[in-house]
Amino acid sequence: MLYLDSNVFIYAALNTEDIGDRARALLRRVEQGEEKASSSALTFDELVWAVKKYRTMDDATMAGEAFLNFRGLRLVPVDGDLLALALGLIRNYELDPRDSIHVASATLSKAEAVVSMDEHFDKVDGLRRKTL
């Protein structure tokens, strides 16, 4: 199981260069059942916000709808237990709140690796990061 950070979806939606192609290829493999993957419900917020910032509200709502209907993706709900785990990660690793929620979500989904371009995940003990 891979955990997909929000930047995978953002690159897939907005980037027309090689990194966007790699993100879209990974998402196709998940959708086709070739890869198992999870992501936080928080990813919805980050994706829609980024697409709205750089494109239009219509594009943002289409990206949000595509995310919600994405086949093969397990959404990790954000609840009190997850937030308590995230708070511990903030204390231990000085992560930003959103990043701690992603790490807690990856942990709870028993992901073998986090797919992300963000190097700050590298400081979390026991967390393996894969780039696109």
Within 8 A by CB and 6+ apart from 34, the residues are none
Quote the pLDDT of residue 41.
97
Quote the pLDDT of residue 63.
98
Quote the pLDDT of residue 126.
95
Residues in the chain where the model's pLDDT stays below 70? none
pTM of structure? 0.96
Going by CATH, does the domain composed of 2-130 fall within 2.40.160.40? no
Structural contact between residues 30 and 48, judged by C-beta atoms closer than 8 angstroms: no
Domain assignments of the chain as residue spans, ordered by start:
2-130
> Which among 84, 82, 117 has a CA at the least distance from the CA of 6?
117
pLDDT in tens, 89-117: 999 999 999 999 999 999 999 999 999 99
